[in-house]
Amino acid sequence: MAQIREIKKRMVAVGTIQRITKTMQMIATAKFTAAVQRTRATQPYTEKIRELVAAVCSDPADLDHPLVGGDRPRSGRELLLVIGSDRGFCGAFNSNVLRNSLRYHRSRVAEGIEVQVETSGKKASNFFKFAQIPVAQTHEIGDKPSFEDVSAVADRFMDLFTAGEVDSVHVAYMRFESNSRQIAEIQQLLPLQAPESDESGVSASMYEFTPDEATLLNDLLPRAIRTSLFQSYNDAVVSEQIMRMIAMKAATDNASSLGRTLKRDYNRARQARITTELTEIVSGAAALA
């Protein structure tokens, strides 16, 4: 009797878990649909900004801008922004990003370079705290990043870079390629890499600009950095929701399979108890006869 009661309790618990994971899967699916629309909507704009920068930089050899390099003080320090999630239950999303960022951090420190870590998302902050790596600042962007919030972060990075407080800025995030492929990578945000010139030595695009190239670059280069960082946040959000959707579907399927197993065990235990009771009744009747 005790075994049947225990199996029954487990069946109720597994059923409750299955309903929760199914609900979380549906929520993740809805969030993924909205997030992927935002990501695909911003991709053309980001790519076009990069094309414009390449067009304006008709001669990369003559390009001398603070955001590309230029003459500025050096500090021997790098800044690494790690974009994680605020919530768990998203499969290997956080572990892949955090392992990749930790590997990069250790490699740069081994080369004698100081790495200043900043995080976005509670999971990233907790990870570096556990690893006993100080976090200079935590950014609270959320799972619906706005361009204004991300632009403020990008502007701060540009100020630190141009002032010479950091020599480069890198972003560790999960890049979204397709629904079945997401890649954890380290992207160099600053300094911007000048577009490569043609192999023949002739500029790929010859234009006359009004206003001049320097004025255009003063607007295009900061805009390119803001859009690149914004795209990184959007990719991270989409990847998080995809992995959460997959993880919750797997959890729901496992709960369903376990529920069927428990139901079978429950029926067997119940049948065994009935058989035992019938045997006792027949044995008692035979003893009285």
Element (H, E) at 116: strand 114-120
Average the pLDDT over 2-21 and give the result: 91
91 domain residue, yes or no = yes
Per-residue pLDDT tens digits for 117-137: 999 999 999 999 999 999 999
**What is the spatial distance between Cα 56 and Cα 221, in angstroms, rounded to a whole number?**
10
Structure-block tokens of residue 15: 């059923």
Minimum mean pLDDT range among 60-69, 229-238, 242-251: 60-69
- Cα dist. 280→4, 5, 214, 273, 286 in Å? 19, 21, 98, 11, 10
- Omega before residue 134 within 30° of 0, cis: no
168 domain residue, yes or no = yes
Position 194 scores a pLDDT of: 56
b/e code 19-44 from CB counts within 10 Å (16+ = b): eebbebbeebeebbeebbebbeebee
Other CB atoms within a 10 A radius of the CB of residue 54 amount to 15
Candidate ranges 47-61, 193-207, 248-262; pick with highest mean pLDDT: 248-262
32 domain residue, yes or no = no
Total domains, the chain? 1
84 domain residue, yes or no = yes
148 domain residue, yes or no = yes
285 domain residue, yes or no = no
Amino acid at 227: T
> What is the 8-class DSSP label of residue 128?
H
CATH number where 114 lies: 3.40.1380.10
117 domain residue, yes or no = yes
Helix, strand, coil: what percent of the chain each, to 5? Answer: 60, 15, 25
Q: Cα–chain-centroid distance for residue 120?
A: 10
259 domain residue, yes or no = no
Task: Look up the domain containing 115 and give its range.
Answer: 60-194+207-241
